[in-house]
Structure formats: C-alpha cells, structure tokens
Chain A
Amino acid sequence: AQSVAQPEDQVKVAEGNPLTVKCTYSVSGNPYLFWYVQYPNRGLQFLLKYITGDNLVKGSYGFEAEFNKSQTSFHLKKPSALVSDSALYFCAQGGKLIFGQGTELSVKP
C-alpha cells in the first residue's frame, strides 16, 4: 500500500544550524513527492515538489529537499535554520496526495 513515513515526531535545532526533516516514501506509489508546512491555526503551504530531473529540489523560504531513490527518501533540508521556521512539516506523495504524520520543527534562538 502507498505510504509516506516521517520517522521523527519532533526535530529541535538551534538557530543558524542546518536542519533536516526526514521522509521516506513508498516505492509502489506515485513518484511525485511534496513538502508542505503548517503554521499554527493555518492551512498547509506548499514548499517544494519533486517530479523528475535533478535530485536536489529547491523551494520556498530557502528550503531544499534531496530525492534519494536507493534509500526511498526525500529529506527536507535548510543550511541555516531560523526561529520563524518553527512549524509542522508534512511530506506527501502524489496521486491521492498521501501525507506523512508530520514533524514538528522547533528552532531555538
């Protein structure tokens, strides 16, 4: 069955440090992959997507994600975290747009 997994419920980093939010996807599912961010009391906002081509995808707010076929992963990254990046992050796989369970990112000053 198609599934997306985010193995970490929470990620904590210090401001200025690099951040990684992990996601693994289902090989049998649709190959299109997305990251969305959710701020408190708001809807989800699109960050970036992978369709085909370069394995490193650049998106909004300085985020990027690396598609790794051998590890079936699509981890979200940012070289230098900001306090304002603190939010809930969802990985999703295309087709029915199956969402992962979400990872709460907390960036401390």
Chain B
Amino acid sequence: EPEVTQTPSHQVTQMGQEVILRCVPISNHLYFYWYRQILGQKVEFLVSFYNNEISEKSEIFDDQFSVERPDGSNFTLKIRSTKLEDSAMYFCASSEGDRDNSPLHFGNGTRLTVT
C-alpha cells in the first residue's frame, strides 16, 4: 500500500537555525498537509496545500513557517529561525480529495528537537 514518507525521522537543531522537513506524499494525492504534536499534547493543524498554493493555515503557521512543493513529488516545511517551543513531532499528510471527504494518510513523522 502506498505510504507517505518523511525524512529525517529525527532532527536536532540549535535555536535560531533554519530547518527543512521533507515529505513525499502519495503520488496520486492532490491535497497536502502539515500537522504537529508537541509531546503529550494534541495533534494541531498547521497548513494545507492544494494546487501549488496554501489553501488554509492556522494561527500557529506564522511568518517563520513556509511550505513548498519544489519538484512535483516532495512537499517541504521550512522553519526559518527555530525556537525552543518548535520542538515537536511534525506529521505530513496527504489525501485524494479535501479533508471532509477523503481520509488523510499520515507519514511517521519527524521529531524536531530544538536546543
């Protein structure tokens, strides 16, 4: 069964550094998402992406964050200047249709640790 893959599985970075989290969504999916899960807390929506542009974003997704689909297969999340509170598990997801009708398929996540 096709899977969403995320790399790296664990990223350690220093505060203030830029990080790029990478995702390869399922190939025939059209909608892409990033969620994050701070340890012990609920899964939070960050951003959705469709037709090469952001379709929706949460209040968490501020100017420090950006997403890109650089080559038709990868979907990246960039954090420009990381803060300690950015430490979390970041999940990429994709779906065939929009979230109301199509289940999301999640990757295994990237654990980001900011020191």
Give A residues with C-beta under 8 Å from B: 30, 32, 34, 36, 41-46, 49, 51, 90, 94-102
Contacts and interface: CB of A to CB of B under 8 A. Distances in A.
B80 interface: no
A100 to B, nearest CB: 7
B43 A90 contact: yes
B107 A102 contact: no
11 contacts: A30-B100, A34-B103, A41-B109, A42-B109, A43-B6, A43-B109, A44-B43, A44-B91, A44-B106, A94-B100, A99-B43
Contacts of B109: 41-43
B56 A96 contact: yes
Given A43-B4, A43-B106, A44-B106, A101 B101 contact: no
Interface of A is mostly: loop
Interface residues of B, number: 21
Interface of B: 4, 6, 41-45, 56, 58, 91, 93, 99-101, 103-109
B108 A95 contact: no
Contacts of A101: 41-42
Contacts of A100: 42
Contacts of B107: 43
Contact of A94 (B58, B93, B99): B99
B111 to A, nearest CB: 9
Contact of B106 (A32, A45, A95, A98): A45
Q: When A and B form their complex, which 4 residue pairs have the shortest distance between CB atoms, in order from nearest? A: A43-B106, A46-B103, A99-B43, A101-B42
Contact of A97 (B41, B45, B105, B108): B45
A27 to B, nearest CB: 17
A83 B103 CA distance: 25
Contacts of A95: 99-100
Q: Which of B43, B56, B93, B100 has the most CB of A within 10 A?
A: B43
Contacts of B44: 99
